[in-house]
Amino acid sequence: MSTILLVDDDPDILKLISLRLTAAGHSVKGADSGEKALAVLAASRPELVITDLKMGGMDGLTLFDEIRKQAPTLPVIILTAHGTIPDAVAATRRGVFGFQSKPFDGKHLLDRWNRRCGFPESARVRARRTGGATS
């Protein structure tokens, strides 16, 4: 099981993505702001951070810059409903691990993130891939 720090100032989105990540077998720590996310990072180290781009206060790219100072190898994925291709290119050039537009297909997106991050497959993913076998 991987620990993921999820950051979004929209409580409904935070809950929805948290439920999907938990259902996929991950442990999720939520934060509703960049500032709170940094406090979580000071206390523990997740394997992945997923953050919204546009938030009140500290935005996702500023949060990424702060994370990069504290943990340069920690992968950060930015989610946005307002992103453009130039935004994605700029974020990737800065070192963001991934840039994903909202809305998204949670099931397929989680599978792709798991593979990119090297996280082990959940039993549900293995069952889907192998036609029902989970071991």
pLDDT tens digit sequence for 32-42 = 999 999 999 99
94: number of CA atoms within 13 Å, CB side? 22
Helix residue ranges, H only, the chain: 11-23, 34-43, 60-70, 85-94, 106-117, 123-130
Provide mean pLDDT across the span 1-22.
88
The answer to which of 41-45, 49-53, 131-135 has the lowest mean pLDDT is 131-135
Is residue 119 scored above 80 in pLDDT? no
23 vs 7: which has the higher pLDDT: 7
pLDDT reading at 9 higher than 90: yes
H/E stretch holding 99 reads strand 98-101
Reported as a single tens digit per residue, the pLDDT across 55-89 is 989 988 899 999 999 999 999 888 877 666 676 66
pLDDT-derived band of residue 116, with 50, 70 and 90 as boundaries?
Answer: low
Question: Of residues 27 and 91, which shows the higher confidence score?
Answer: 27
User: Residue 106: is its pLDDT beyond 60?
Assistant: no
- Which residue is associated with the tokens 């940094």? 38
Query: Do the beta carbons of residue 18 and residue 6 sit within 8 Å?
Result: yes
Residue 104: predicted pLDDT = 56
Per-residue pLDDT, 103:
57
Q: What is the pLDDT of residue 54?
A: 86
